[in-house]
Structures are given as C-alpha cells and as structure tokens.
Amino acid sequence: MDKKAVCLGELLIDFVSTVSGVTLKDAPGFEKAPGGAPANVAVGLAKLGIDTHFIGKVGRDAFGEFLREVLEKNGVNTRFLFSTEKAKTTLAFVSLTQEGERDFVFYRDPGADMLLDQREIGEECFQGKGVFHFGSITMTHEPAYSATLRAISLAKKYGYLLSFDPNLRPALWRDLEEARFRMRQALKSVDILKVNEEEARFLAGTSDLEQALKFLSQNFSLALIALTLGKRGCLIVHGDNRLEMEGFSVATVDTTGAGDGFVAGLLSSLYMFWEDLRERKEIPESAIAHAARRANAVGALTTTKKGAIPALPTSEEVEIFLKEHPL
C-alpha cells in the first residue's frame, strides 16, 4: 500500500482586504478565500503528488460546502471532513499592514473547527502508513483538543511520521502559558517540527534564538527541526547536523500560506525517508539539502500569487522553477 498524508486542523474562510497596506479598520472591502494552515498543507501535498486526507469540521452552511469543494477540486480526500449544525464555519478577516504584518480578527466563538470530537477520530483514519501533520489551532479549546490528542495517539500507534507546525496565533488562546504547555506536550510525540523564529522562542520560553533551538533539540526527541527564516530561507537541524539553505528572490504578491507551502514541499521531498526519520535513522545530507531547497521553492512560489490555496504549486511548476534557479 502506498504511503499517504493525513492532515488535521482548522478549515476556514479568510476574508482578505482588497487593499494592501491598511489595517482591518480601514479596509474598504474583503475577498473570500479558503484558509486554515493544515488545510493549506493538505492541498500543497496533494498538488505535489501525495495521496492526502483531511480531518476537520466545518459548519453545515454555504461556506462549509465551498471549503469541501475546494479541497476535493484540489485532490484532497474529504471522507473525514465533518459538518455540524451546532456552529457556523469559522471566519477570519485578514489585512496586510504597511509594515508588512498581517492583521487578524477571528470569528470563532465557537467556530465549527473547535467542535471536532474525539469520537469522530476512528482508527480507519490511519489505515496504512504515512505522515500525520497537525497544528495548534485545534488545541485551543475542547472538544477539538481531545480530538487532536486522540489523532496523535492513533498516528503513533499505526507507525506514522508526525509533523507539527505550531502556527502560533496568540489571539486565539485564553492563556499563553496554557498554549506553551499544550504545544510542549504535543512535541513529546512529534518527529518533524516546523517553526518560525517567533514560535521557536515562544516554545522555549527565551528571546535568544540559539538557546531556543538548543532547548528544542535537547528536551524533545525530534528527528528534524525546520526553522523558516522568511526571504532568507531556512535552517534545518537534523541530529547534530545543521544545514542553512538560502531562500529564493521572487516578486512577492501575498505571503499567506508560504509557511504551509514550505511544509508541503519539505514533507513531499522527504517521502522516501519517512520511515527512516520516524526510526531516527541517519538521512544523507544531500537528501536534507534537496528537501530544504525544494521546500524553499514551494514557499517562494506560494507568495507569487494572491491567496494560499490557489498559489500552491504543482510538482511540474516546482521543477521548472528550480531549473530556472540553479544552485
């Protein structure tokens, strides 16, 4: 049986400001776009040729139907995407300020993604072998937190490689200490951790990035840490080895989903080594370098169009891009 990817998390509607460089308060209008980091990763993996399944929950409403259709049109299996009448599909309003920072407001009190129930996470979700990717947004509230923990447990039971991107959104947590605690608990089961600089510092509880990486390496049995550095590329920590991979210079239109594209690029490029990573076997440095470069390419390409899911590239587009940007 071929390996597959299972992604669990939030699937929501992003209403993105029609004008860049303004706060939400000053935005003249908004465009509807599918969103949610694990959903972006799922589409990214599917576009890169990986058999991908998504676990999550949307409202039984027009937005929920739209999101299901988007995943299916992009080749993601939605058998485990559940619908509920107890809450509406989660919404987020997003704008890009003049400083280049994203301004978020979430309408999620509750949102359907928070109502994913552990009873819906059956063993059939993890038949076969593969990689399980998740984030922290479903860890902010019950019952989705318990559902996430059950999925982690089942993924471990069935021998999946576990990939985690905290995707820290402080506004969604009632208590940031609780956020740090829950993320650290999850890290005890994780094989691959993808973080940006802010998230690495947050998880370690230090402002010193080098100390943060040391903390994560020493306190958790991680096969690989991928630290994204924006335009500068990434740093991969694999055992005692470190590899820095320079980023690509592109005409950036929208950075939404760039990190999710990076995750999809990284996981798909390491497809042949999923079992080795899970078993903590040494991976050739050439394979790590290839995966890091390809992940950077997917992330860069995702920024060249508006919206995350429409911008995520296919394998063919990535190969063309890499040929046009030789080492």
The pLDDT confidence band at residue 99, using thresholds 50, 70 and 90, is: low
Higher confidence at residue 24 or residue 20? 24
Whether the predicted pLDDT of 266 surpasses 70: yes
Which class for 43: exposed (0-12), middle (13-18), buried (19 or more C-beta within 10 A)? Answer: buried
Instruction: Give residue 100's pLDDT band: very low, low, confident or very high (50, 70, 90).
Output: low
Q: What percent of the chain has pLDDT over 70?
A: 99
Q: pTM of this prediction?
A: 0.97
Q: How far apart are CA 309 and CA 296, in angstroms?
A: 17
* 82 pLDDT tier (thresholds 50, 70, 90): very high
> Could you state, in order of their start, the residue ranges of all structural domains in the chain?
4-11+37-88+110-324
For 192, half-sphere exposure in the C-beta direction (CA atoms, 13 angstrom radius) is 26
Strand partners, 165: 135
Q: Residue 168: what pLDDT?
A: 96
* Range 201-240 burial, b when 16+ CB lie within 10 A, else e: bbbbeeeeeeebbebbbeebebbbbbbbeebebbbbbbee
* Res 256: pLDDT: 86
- Are the CB atoms for 12 and 35 separated by under 8 Å? yes
pLDDT digits (tens, 9 = 90+) for 51-67: 999 999 999 999 999 99
Of 157, 105, 98, 153, nearest to 128 (Cα)? 157
Mean pLDDT score, 3-30: 93
| 102 pLDDT tier (thresholds 50, 70, 90) | confident
Instruction: For residues 303-316, give the mean pLDDT.
Output: 92
In terms of CATH architecture, what is 4-11+37-88+110-324?
Answer: 3-Layer(aba) Sandwich (3.40)
Q: At what angle do helices 285-302 and 315-324 cross, to 10 degrees?
A: 100
Whole-number Å distance between alpha carbons of 266 and 293: 9
Residue range 276-280: average pLDDT?
96
**pLDDT (tens digit, 9 = 90+) per residue, 112-171?**
999 999 999 999 999 999 999 999 999 999 999 999 999 999 999 999 999 999 999 999
Mean predicted confidence (pLDDT) in 264-279: 97
